[in-house]
Amino acid sequence: MVKKKYKFDRRSFLKLSAATGGGLMLGFNWSSCNSPQDVRPVKVMPKEWYDINAFLKIGDNGLVTIFSPNPEIGQNVKTSMPMIIAEELDVSWEDVVVEQAGLNDWFSRQVAGGSQSIRHGWKSLRMAGATAKRMLVNAAAKEWEIDPSECSVSEGVISNGKGDKLTFGAVAKAASTMDVPKEEDVVLKEAKDYKIIGTDRSNVDIDNIITGKPLFGIDTKREGMLYATVLRPPAFGQKLKSVDDSEALKVAGVKGVYKINLPLRQGPDRTVDKVAVVATSTWAAMKGKKALKAVWQEDTPLENTTNHKADLTRLVNSTAKKSVRKDGDPNKAFAEADEVIEKVFESPFLPHNCMEPMNFFAHVQADKVELVGPVQTPAWSRDRVVKMLGWIDEFDPEDKEAKKAAEEKAYAKVDLKMTRMGGGFGRRLFGDFVMDATQISKVAGAPIQLIWSREDDMAGGTYRPAIHYKLRAAIKDKKITGYHLIEAAVNDNMWASLAQSFPASAIANYQVDNHKIESNITTGAWRAPYTNFLASAEQCFLDEVAQKIGKDPIEMRLELLAEAKKVYDQHAKLEEEIKDEEKLKVAKKGLMPKGNYEPDRFIAAIKMARDKSGWNNKASGSHLGFSAYYSHNTYVAQVAHVTMVDDKPKVDKVTCVVDCGLVINPLAATNLIQGGVIDGIGHAMFGDFGFENGQPSMDNFNQYRLIRMPEAPQIEVHYVNNGKSPTGLGEPTLPPAGAAIANAFHSATGERLYRQPYVKESKVLG
Amino acid sequence: MATYTLNINGKSQTIEADSDTPLLWVLRDTVGLVGTKYGCGIAQCGACTIHVDGEAMRSCSLPISAIGEKSITTIEGLSADASHPLQEAWRQHDVPQCGYCQAGQIMNAAALLKNNANPSDEDIDSAMRGNICRCGTYNRIKAAIKTAAKI
Ligand code: FES
Ligand code: FES
């Protein structure tokens, strides 16, 4: 992704203000706050708003509207990102209303993915608030005819030190015409002065959610809007031979039936046929779809889970041409080992199952398109839409400026509004549903709301691919002298950065290899891609290795991290000694490379989990399992607490320690952490999905088992709280959870688990 | 198409619909009450939970022709001003993540509390097991139900 620097000049934001017009429709529910018993403050609308920059505008009464730039999928950025802006603006949170920004190139990275919103936004959001504050101060100083440095600000009030005060509302108009201060003139707060960051703040949409207000994509309504459903091939690898729509067209309310063809996630040239039914209500569209008589034929070979398994098994046992990472001499370490421990771990495909099924509103007109709905990658979708509509003028591929001009011209025709999303988990990174909706609106010549049924959603996924991992450890003198990880995956292999995860850099002879098979089943990112199962495999394996060499699993990890620290120290020493970059590079060639993690932070999180969980003095009858993983820039260590109930192990509690640096909003952070752990446990226990003759094995919740309340343990959350720059929480607490419970089950029953879902493999759980 | 007169949130409404139309789509598409959500369409997830004569029902699996005179309450009509004890408790615990399942969770919990003013953990588990929360907010849902029971 190209990194773009935020600008705070007026021209850029004016462009944005126009695009985000439409007032506070989705931002705040004014009416629900007026009840007599209600002690929540009533917010009074200003008579006039003044745009200060792209992120905020201020009313003449001091009320502030903050535009939240990134898509909200339940990770709570719609509250936490504005909190960061409000902090630096120095306004009372009670005087803030939040509105979701639309897609606008002024913002950088309007994406919900990779747990990166807060980490990427940390500097720019603070700058947005602080720059605006400086403009307000400059306006007040001008009025008082003093130097801005003589002013101070607290909660929306500017003082001049002589007893005079001006509110933000009073100077908003003047500030809106001020020059934007230079970046070096903008001073950010020190952490000790934070009043909003680090405090519990309710979800800005809480009132709307608990009263059922329209918030989600599926709630979109427009004048003259029709409803659309799609019939998709029952199996991956099929194409449409023919369709008889005569019965469908007889269904009351059905307006039209259209064949469409759309790109698939894998392969630039692969497409899928669908049949769209457009009607006056969702139910009529669904009935019309049922009445279609479609004949499908094989296009590419239909695949089976049994074949995938056989292929993946063959691949984890074969030699890779080139390793992703190789340190020392692993072959020698294994040849000289006293003992080699070798285990294979297997995971199935997984659908995302967002509670809100895929849907989108589209209204294509001759020279513009309105798009509204839930998508994690709005810019990507816009790009696909304009290409699909043929709106990009031809340009010389060599000429970058011409390309940019052509794109900008096409993008100007697109108005894309993001709604709150009923979950994302990576499924809405691929906007195939946006393309569906666009195509259908175009051919039907009407504004349409596309809705996929749950069955379409589950059977038309971009699945977490089935992956097998083989893990090998060479043991000599009760120490791990060699480590070998082999991956065999469907369609895509782990990112190279994941080969740098712990225990990389902690073991002298270390190797990571991978293999893949190509499949016509579409796969993609699923919450914590790759690590969602890699962590389970590795953390279960380390537990077993510790047991085999007679070590406490936590102590063994701490010893390994101490080894990694030595490597990091060698790097630090060289950096201290050699200042010439080229020479340093050469000197470092003699060292083992560093991993993607900081050993000190990892050690601190693990020790905290050990201490908070009572690892060393557990209650009798309580069985513990440990797991720790670093991913998405956040450190997580977990202890699962299991008791035996009616001869079955039951997870009562998970102690979860998190180092995500500074915690922006603990109230929401804890919620997200608890959810991530529960999600990790649920999918490790129950998540099962496969294919027979290309056809998904399940398509609704009567077959597909998601974790439900009785199975969800209590999640006890602790923060390391070291004040480092904040990182994200959407994903990193999920990966370690599967191994935490599996290791606790082993403590309780002696059974080791290698295959997910555990209910299927385990004799006692199932 | 047939004509039905439904009592929704205390208001009488006349609706034209096919007799097999699930109440869920009548509410969402015809009446314009979109707080009730679609999740599975087969009574497995609880997202579409409403009250029919005070009892929790899955509106996705309830044809309009089966309602008759019975009174329907949706999340929009649970209280006039978001002051139902569960709504207060939901606010206090900041329960939602994505929020999509929450209307169904609240409606199901409201029916539970009506029948059992002081539910135990096990009571809550068994009453709420039909409501999926993909985001995993179960800890807070449970805590909020207990708080609401005390309000
Ligand atoms: S939509 Fe009715 S129970 Fe799922
Ligand atoms: S809050 Fe997202 S499904 Fe429950």
Residue-range domain boundaries for chain B? 2-76, 85-150
Any ligand 1 atom below 6 A from CB of B28: no
Q: Residue B86 contacts by C-beta under 8 Å, 6 or more apart in sequence?
A: B78, B106, B109, B110, B113, B144, B145, B148
Question: So what's the pLDDT on residue A34?
Answer: 35
Any ligand 2 atom below 6 A from CB of B100: yes
Q: What is the rounded average pLDDT of the residues A472-481?
A: 98
Question: So what's the pLDDT on residue A268?
Answer: 62
Nearest partner of B135 among A354, A715, A636, judged by Cα: A354
**Phi, psi at A351, each rounded to 5°:** -85, 160
Any ligand 1 atom below 6 A from CB of B100: no
Answer yes or no: is A562 within a domain: no
Nearest partner of A707 among A677, A740, A751, judged by Cα: A677
Segment 273-302 of chain A within 8 Å of chain B by CB: 281-284, 287
Segment 598-637 of chain A within 8 Å of chain B by CB: none
Counting from 1 in the atom list of ligand 2, the atom nearest the Cα of B97 is 1
Any ligand 2 atom below 6 A from CB of B4: no
pLDDT winner (highest mean) among A5-19, A35-49, A568-582:
A568-582
Q: Are A55 and A129 in contact (CB under 8 A)?
A: yes
Based on the fold, state whether residues A234 and A191 are members of the same structural domain.
no
| Amino acid sitting at position B109 | A
Question: So what's the pLDDT on residue A625?
Answer: 98
Query: Tens place of pLDDT for every residue, chain B, 151 residues?
Result: 899 999 999 999 999 999 999 999 999 999 999 999 999 999 999 999 999 999 999 999 999 999 999 999 999 999 999 999 999 999 999 999 999 999 999 999 999 999 999 999 999 999 999 999 999 999 999 999 999 999 9
Confidence category of residue A708, pLDDT binned at 50, 70, 90: very high
How far apart are alpha carbons A620 and A610 in whole angstroms? 17
Based on the fold, state whether residues A81 and A164 are members of the same structural domain.
yes
Fold of B2-76: Ubiquitin-like (UB roll) (3.10.20)
| Residue that terminates a domain, selected from A210, A227, A252 | A210
| Chain A residues close to B76, C-beta within 8 Å | 211-212
The pTM for the full model equals 0.95
Please check whether residue A698 touches B, CB under 8 A.
no
Answer yes or no: is A612 within a domain: yes
The shortest CB-CB distance from A454 to any of B39, B81, B101 is to B39
| Chain A residues close to B100, C-beta within 8 Å | 216, 354-356, 422-423
Answer yes or no: is A685 within a domain: yes
Based on the fold, state whether residues A128 and A186 are members of the same structural domain.
yes
Task: Quote the domain boundaries for residue A150.
Answer: 14-210
| Chain A residues close to B19, C-beta within 8 Å | none
Task: Flag whether pLDDT at A115 surpasses 70.
Answer: yes
Which tokens hold the place of A45?
Answer: 């609308």
Any ligand 1 atom below 6 A from CB of B60: yes
Which tokens hold the place of A302?
Answer: 């239909």
Based on the fold, state whether residues A718 and A607 are members of the same structural domain.
yes
How far apart are alpha carbons A670 and A729 in whole angstroms? 9
Over its C-alpha atoms, chain B yields an Rg (Å, rounded) of 15
Confidence category of residue A33, pLDDT binned at 50, 70, 90: very low
Q: Are A684 and A760 in contact (CB under 8 A)?
A: no
Counting from 1 in the atom list of ligand 1, the atom nearest the Cα of B37 is 1
Any ligand 1 atom below 6 A from CB of B39: yes
Confidence category of residue A26, pLDDT binned at 50, 70, 90: very low
CATH number, domain of A160, equals 3.30.365.10
Counting from 1 in the atom list of ligand 2, the atom nearest the Cα of B96 is 1
Contact A218 B34 (CB under 8 A): yes
| Chain B residues close to A674, C-beta within 8 Å | 136-137, 139-140
Task: Flag whether pLDDT at A8 surpasses 90.
Answer: no
Residues A592-628: pLDDT tens digits? 999 999 999 999 999 999 999 999 998 889 999 999 9
- CATH 1.10.150.120 given to domain B85-150: yes
> DSSP string spanning A351-395?
----SS-SEEEEEE-SS-EEEEE--S-HHHHHHHHHHHTT-SPP-
Based on the fold, state whether residues A159 and A258 are members of the same structural domain.
no
| Residue that terminates a domain, selected from A210, A241, A267 | A210
| Residue that terminates a domain, selected from A386, A419, A451 | A451
Q: What is the rounded average pLDDT of the residues A122-145?
A: 96
Answer yes or no: is A560 within a domain: no
Residue ranges of E strands in A581-710: 623-631, 634-645, 648-659, 691-692, 695-696
Phi-psi region at B50: left, alpha or beta (left = phi > 0; alpha = psi -120 to 50): beta
How far, in Å, is the centroid of ligand 2 from the Cα of A373?
A: 17
Q: What is the mean pLDDT of chain A?
A: 93
Please check whether residue A307 touches B, CB under 8 A.
no
Q: Could you tell which of B37, B48, B101 is best to mutate to test the pocket of ligand 2, judged by most ligand atoms within 8 Å of the CB?
A: B101
The total number of structural domains that make up chain A: 3
Place of tokens 């990427």: A120
Answer yes or no: is A417 within a domain: yes
Based on the number of CB atoms within 10 Å of its own CB, is B65 exposed (0-12), middle (13-18) or buried (19 or more)? middle
Contact B135 A667 (CB under 8 A): no
Q: Which helix (H) or strand (E) holds A170?
A: helix A168-176
Any ligand 2 atom below 6 A from CB of B137: yes
Q: Which helix (H) or strand (E) holds A86?
A: helix A77-89
Based on the fold, state whether residues A231 and A376 are members of the same structural domain.
yes
Based on the fold, state whether residues A283 and A432 are members of the same structural domain.
yes
Answer yes or no: is A308 within a domain: no
Nearest partner of A99 among A420, A415, A425, judged by Cα: A420
Answer yes or no: is A393 within a domain: yes
Please check whether residue A311 touches B, CB under 8 A.
no
Please check whether residue A454 touches B, CB under 8 A.
yes
